[in-house]
């Protein structure tokens, strides 16, 4: 059974049995695992560039300018973190809401 049973018959009929391509077997490592590591590497690289930039900037300007820039960068990073946490929270609450709605419907029916 090395055939895709869900493909339309006219497509299967046009390809001879000896020229059919073998089905692709899913690899054991998914792309999501690779994506997670690449995101971590990119984030570490970005933080390194940012810290190097702050260090070089601190050599060029006064401490007050560096402090002001660090406060602005801190607000941007905090905004990103809060936005990500809120997205995760609202996604979780959305699923929880529908589970509760289904549970209430089941309780009313039973």
Q: Is residue 63 in a domain? A: yes
Q: Is residue 26 in a domain? A: no
8-state DSSP, 6: T
pLDDT, tens digit, 9 for 90 and up, residues 68-101 = 888 998 999 899 899 999 999 999 999 999 999 9
Quick one: pLDDT at residue 42?
Answer: 86
CB under 8 Å to 66, separation ≥6 — which residues?
54, 57, 58
Q: Is residue 90 in a domain? A: yes
Q: Is residue 22 in a domain? A: no
Quick one: pLDDT at residue 1?
Answer: 54
Number of independent structural domains in the chain: 1
Residue 46's domain spans which residues?
35-109
Model pTM score: 0.42
Q: Is residue 12 in a domain? A: no
CB under 8 Å to 65, separation ≥6 — which residues?
57
Q: Is residue 14 in a domain? A: no
């Amino acid at each position: 059974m090395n055939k895709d049973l869900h493909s339309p018959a006219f497509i299967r009929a046009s390809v001879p049995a000896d020229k059919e391509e073998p089905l692709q077997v899913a690899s054991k490592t998914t792309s999501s695992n690779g994506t997670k590591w690449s995101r971590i590497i990119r984030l570490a690289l970005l933080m390194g560039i940012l810290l190097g930039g702050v260090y070089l900037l601190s050599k060029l300007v006064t401490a007050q300018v560096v402090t002001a820039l660090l406060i602005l960068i801190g607000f941007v990073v905090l905004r990103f973190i809060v936005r990500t946490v809120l997205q995760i929270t609202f996604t979780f609450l959305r699923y929880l809401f529908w589970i509760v709605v289904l549970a209430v419907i089941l309780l009313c029916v039973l």
